């Protein structure tokens, strides 16, 4: 299994079977809080990375083992819309493999492109990233490719929101001293109201970030953000995700491969890995030590918790 990982628990999507349709850190942004580390290939030109048939075949293989999956999610090692075959991959899965809904988590920076909007229109749920609608803050937190322009990004998102027939949600990462000022939060919430997102999720960094100095906001700033969003969007359209995901990882196939593939796109709490492995192997600690010795994962501490992360970071 090269391109599909999980199923993994997701705070927004229930149980998600992940598709990794982008090689490590090809992205249009290099967010300061990125859990994958610094962007190595900051590009905005779309290209072909993997064969959509191979993606569909791997999805079919996991689905056939009758595991519970709420969403097939494109949540790769970079920005999913950089994949020029994204639309083809979605339609192949939906027409030939399964009726399970397809979700895409995108930073939305390429939605000014008509072909990207068309590809995303095949999905059932699209989550867009909006950390700021103020240029200086956008540059500081998302560190976009030099050729991206915030006004084009925002109007692209607006155009997509008007056309899209599926569920549109948003995520806003709150970072201490970076994007938690009242004016920034009010402007984001007003923009999200204008484009009509079904739900706006407020997140805080809970996994090791690209920049060591990145911290979650103070509690009062988190609460202030929630209240501002609630007042502008309405309570039922805002959710604050300040806790880590549930630990119910279901290992499918080889336990070793499951851990390595999951950690490639998703730092995993050490205790969650042990818990999941203990249902499948006799000595989970020993298996993790072996993966560390083989250079397939490494351990890191963040916010008082030990995580397994990919070794290149």
The CA-to-CA distance between both ends of the chain, in Å, stands at 22
| 30: its two tokens | 């290099």
Task: Mark the segment that binds ligand SF4 (CB under 6 A) among 22-30, 83-91, 158-166, 236-244.
Answer: 22-30
Are 1 and 257 spatial neighbours (Cβ–Cβ below 8 Å)?
yes
Is 10 strand, coil or helix?
A: strand
Residues 6+ apart with CB under 8 A from 92: 52, 53, 55, 56
Smallest gap from residue 39 Cβ to ligand SF4 (A): 5
Residues 6+ apart with CB under 8 A from 122: 87, 90, 91, 94, 102
Task: Mark the segment that binds ligand SF4 (CB under 6 A) among 29-37, 162-170, 256-264, 295-303.
Answer: 29-37
Task: Mark the segment that binds ligand SF4 (CB under 6 A) among 31-39, 45-53, 198-206, 302-310.
Answer: 31-39
Are 21 and 46 spatial neighbours (Cβ–Cβ below 8 Å)?
no
236 CB burial (10 A radius; 0-12, 13-18, 19+): exposed
- Using CB under 6 A, which residues numbered 208 to 237 contact ligand SF4? none
Are 128 and 168 spatial neighbours (Cβ–Cβ below 8 Å)?
yes
Is residue 203 involved in binding ligand SF4 (CB under 6 A)?
no
138 vs 230: CA distance, rounded Å: 22
Pick the closer one to ligand SF4 by CB: 52 or 78.
78
Is residue 24 involved in binding ligand SF4 (CB under 6 A)?
no
Are 193 and 135 spatial neighbours (Cβ–Cβ below 8 Å)?
no
Q: Which helix (H) or strand (E) holds 91?
A: helix 86-92
x-marked contacts with ligand SF4 along 85-124 as a string, rule CB under 6 A: ----------------------x-----------------
142 vs 174: CA distance, rounded Å: 12
Is residue 276 involved in binding ligand SF4 (CB under 6 A)?
no
CA 13, distance to chain mean position in Å, is 11
Is residue 179 involved in binding ligand SF4 (CB under 6 A)?
no
Is residue 175 involved in binding ligand SF4 (CB under 6 A)?
no
Smallest gap from residue 181 Cβ to ligand SF4 (A): 21
- Using CB under 6 A, which residues numbered 60 to 79 contact ligand SF4? 78-79
Is residue 157 involved in binding ligand SF4 (CB under 6 A)?
no
Binding residue count for ligand SF4, defined by CB under 6 A: 10
C-alpha triplet 202, 205, 210: angle, nearest 5°:
130
x-marked contacts with ligand SF4 along 39-58 as a string, rule CB under 6 A: x-------------------
CA gyration radius for the chain? Answer: 19
Smallest gap from residue 63 Cβ to ligand SF4 (A): 26
Query: What is the DSSP-derived secondary structure letter of residue 47?
Result: B
Is residue 206 involved in binding ligand SF4 (CB under 6 A)?
no
Is residue 20 involved in binding ligand SF4 (CB under 6 A)?
no
**Which one of residues 8, 19, 31, 203 is an interface residue with ligand SF4 (CB under 6 A)?**
31
Is residue 191 involved in binding ligand SF4 (CB under 6 A)?
no
Pick the closer one to ligand SF4 by CB: 74 or 191.
74
Residues lying near ligand SF4 in the complex (CB under 6 A) are found at: 27, 29-31, 34, 36, 39, 78-79, 107
């Amino acid at each position: 299994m090269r391109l599909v990982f999980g199923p993994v628990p997701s705070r927004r999507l229930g149980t998600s079977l992940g598709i990794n349709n982008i090689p490590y850190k090809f992205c249009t942004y290099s967010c300061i809080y990125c859990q994958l580390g610094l962007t190595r290939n900051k590009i905005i030109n779309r290209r072909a990375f993997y064969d959509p048939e191979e993606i569909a075949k791997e999805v079919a293989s996991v689905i056939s083992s009758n595991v519970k999956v709420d969403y097939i999610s494109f949540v790769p090692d970079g920005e999913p819309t950089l994949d020029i075959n994204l639309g083809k991959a979605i339609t192949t899965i939906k027409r030939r493999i399964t009726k399970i809904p397809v979700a895409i988590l995108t930073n939305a920076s390429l939605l000014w492109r008509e072909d990207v909007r068309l590809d995303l229109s095949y999905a059932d749920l699209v989550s867009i990233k909006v950390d700021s609608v103020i240029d200086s803050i956008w540059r500081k937190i998302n560190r976009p490719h030099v050729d991206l322009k915030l006004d084009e990004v925002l109007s692209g998102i607006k155009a997509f929101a008007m056309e899209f027939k599926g569920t549109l949600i948003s995520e806003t990462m709150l970072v201490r001293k970076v994007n938690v000022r009242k004016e920034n939060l009010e402007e984001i919430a007003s923009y999200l109201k204008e484009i009509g997102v079904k739900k706006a999720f407020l997140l805080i960094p809970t996994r090791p970030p690209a920049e060591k100095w990145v911290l979650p906001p103070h509690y009062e700033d988190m609460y202030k953000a929630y209240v501002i969003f609630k007042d502008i969007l309405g309570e039922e359209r805002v959710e604050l995700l300040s806790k880590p995901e549930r630990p119910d990882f279901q290992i499918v196939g080889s336990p070793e491969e499951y851990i390595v593939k999951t950690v490639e796109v998703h730092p995993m709490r050490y205790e969650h890995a042990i818990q999941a492995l203990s249902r499948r192997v006799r000595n989970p600690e020993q298996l993790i030590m072996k993966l560390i010795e083989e250079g397939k994962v490494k351990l890191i501490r963040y916010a008082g918790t030990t995580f397994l992360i990919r070794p290149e970071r």
